[in-house]
Each structure stands twice: as structure tokens, then as C-alpha cells.
Amino acid sequence: MSFEVFVDHRQNAPVITLKDLHNQTTAEIYAFGGILNAFSITNQGKNQNLVAGFNSVVDAQENITNGFKSAKLSPFVCRMGAGKYQWDDESFKIEKWFLGNHAIHGIIYDATYQIQSTRADDKSASVELYYSYPGNEKGYPFPYLIQILWKLETGNKLSVTTTITNASAIAIPVSDGWHPYFTLGDSVDDYTLQIDTKQQVEFDSELIPTGVLINDERFTNGLLMKGVFLDNCFLLDKNFIHPRCTLSNKNLQLTIVPSINYPYMQFYTPDDREKIAIENLSSAPDAFNNKMGLQILEPQETINFSTSYIATVLYL
């Protein structure tokens, strides 16, 4: 076979490695959080990891809320204003994690998933993870099931599909996303960012959407990131069949191609300029209140969210 899956049980939670034996490309997945901790390719004879991840599962368990590296964002994404929302004529308040005045990044970023299955053949390697959220967070008392399928294919292509099933007796609100940080090996100032977008989600001073979309075409044809700081959300251009984003420097290009159920992208550049968060989102932040992209699942209804990461070495 051209691909293999290896599961390491020596840490606090399983670590799954998907590997392309032909070109040595690997993806390292933690059962803790279901997170992508590494996406490594061969560049000029050397191994290069494009993900700013953790040193170990223990490191992730202790520090996941310090930047939320690679965190699964569910059942809400980014910020929720004051952690409050109304649903089915009731008021709810999230209590899990706040940054300043607002709840952030969902409630299952620290869940440990079960390995449902692994598979490897001549075309791909994959792992399917499973978690049953019991509805134990006071601010979101709605049980749901979540499956995450990570799949590595030829051509340095890594995809992830999240499947959510409503296990509650009533309809529930849902948003979904990911929070990976990417690095191409040098400063973000040397990266070029291209996004198939013409619209940015307007934020207030506390990064809560105002409900307005504003024109922003800076990244449509690619923009050098030198001196550009982002903590912004963009609506992808529906005029493209498969709208995407590319991050590149002189040696590498990372292309991110989301499905139609991830119509938003959030970008964040930390002050260290060593990495950039590129977040696929099914909705705008605070969607439980502003309804921008909010999904509503009926009992037993299922929805899929998927995106692909494709790494390319640029030969000059």
C-alpha cells in the first residue's frame, strides 16, 4: 500500500499519524480535541511542518485555551456577545470560556474523541473520530453527535469533514469551524495572502459583528502581508464555484478549499508574526444572535462541513 495509519497510545490520548509512503507527507491528529497538530511535507529534502501545533498531548490539554491552536469550534464559532443568546423563547448563557466580555470558540475544544475507524490503501489514509456531546454545558443543554473524518490523499492533500447530528428532542442552533495556525517557515511579513472575497464582516470595537458587510477587495488578487495585522472575518465570493484561499511565500503555497457549508473565513495574525490563523467557519461570529450563516438542525437531522488543505512546493 502507498499509505498507512499509525496510532500511538503512549500519550494521554491517542495520536494518529496518516502517512503517504511515496513522498513522506504526514498528518498528525490528536484524539484530544480531534485537532490537526501537524501537516508535514518534504521541501528541498527536509521535513517541514505547516501547522503551528503542540509539543505533546499534555501540552495541548494544558494550553488549548492559550490561542486555541487547531481547536474545533463547536457548537458556536469565535465570539458570542456576552455569552448570551435566545432560543425557543428561553435565555441561555455560555459559561465555558470567556475572553474579556465574550464567550469564545465553542464548548467542545477540549473533548477527547473515540477512534471509530482507520483506513489505508493505495490512494489515501484516513481516521474517523467520534464524540457524543451530552448537553452538560448549562448554556447549551442540547445533546448532539459529532464525527470528524481526516483524510490524507496523493498530491499533499489533506481534508477534514465534520458531521453533526442533532440528538436532542428539539431543533437546535449550530455553527462549526476550525482554528488552525499555519506557518510557511518564515515571517508572516513575507507571505502573500489571496482570498476569493470582496466582503468583510464589519466588527464593533469588541470584535462582535454589527450585521453589516463592507467592501474589502485587498486580498482578491493577493496581498503581501508585510505590516498587515488581521483579526477579521470575510464572506467568500459565491460567484466562484469553489472559492478558496491561498497562503504563499517564495518556496511554498498552501491552498484551502472549503465546501459550500463553510462560506466564511476568519484570519488572525498574532503579534509574533510567526504564524497565521486561517479559520473555516460555517457562520459569522455571534451567529446565535445575528443569524449570519446560523444552521438550525431538526431532531436527528445531520449536516456536513468540509475543507481541504493542499500544500505545494514552488520550484524557482
CA distance 263 to 293: 8
Whether residue 159 has pLDDT greater than 80: yes
Quote the pLDDT of residue 241.
85
- 134-170 burial, b at 16+ Cβ within 10 Å, e below that, comes to eeebebbebbbebbbbbbbbeebbbbbbbbbbbbbee
CA distance 305 to 275: 24
CB 110 within 8 A of CB 61: yes
Quote the pLDDT of residue 316.
54
Residue 174, SS3 per DSSP: strand
| pLDDT tens for each residue of 288-313 | 999 999 999 999 999 999 999 999 99
Calculate the CA 80 to chain-centre distance. Answer: 17
Quote the pLDDT of residue 149.
98
Q: Which helix (H) or strand (E) element contains residue 16? A: strand 15-20
Quote the pLDDT of residue 230.
97
Whether residue 6 has pLDDT greater than 90: yes
CB 87 within 8 A of CB 71: no
The region of weakest confidence among 15-19, 241-245, 276-280 is 241-245
Average pLDDT, stretch 113-135?
98
| pLDDT tens for each residue of 231-269 | 999 999 988 889 999 999 999 999 999 999 999 999 999
In the chain, the largest separation of any two C-alpha atoms, in whole Å, equals: 60
Residue 39: pLDDT band with limits 50, 70, 90: very high
The pTM for the full model equals 0.96
Quote the pLDDT of residue 239.
87
CATH number at residue 45: 2.70.98.10
| pLDDT tens for each residue of 69-115 | 999 999 999 999 999 999 999 999 999 999 999 999 999 999 999 99
Average pLDDT, stretch 121-141?
97
Domain count along the chain: 1
Residue 44: pLDDT band with limits 50, 70, 90: confident
The share of the chain scoring above pLDDT 70, in percent, equals 99
CA distance 111 to 134: 11
Sequence-ordered alpha helix ranges (H) in the chain: 57-63, 287-290
Task: Write down the mean pLDDT value for the chain.
Answer: 96
**Containing structural domain, residue 94:** 3-313
CA distance 173 to 47: 42
Query: φ, ψ for residue 88 (rounded to 5)?
Result: 50, 45
Quote the pLDDT of residue 43.
84
Quote the pLDDT of residue 285.
98
More confident residue, 1 or 73: 73
Q: DSSP secondary-structure letter at 83?
A: G
Whether residue 178 has pLDDT greater than 90: yes
Quote the pLDDT of residue 46.
86
Quote the pLDDT of residue 233.
98
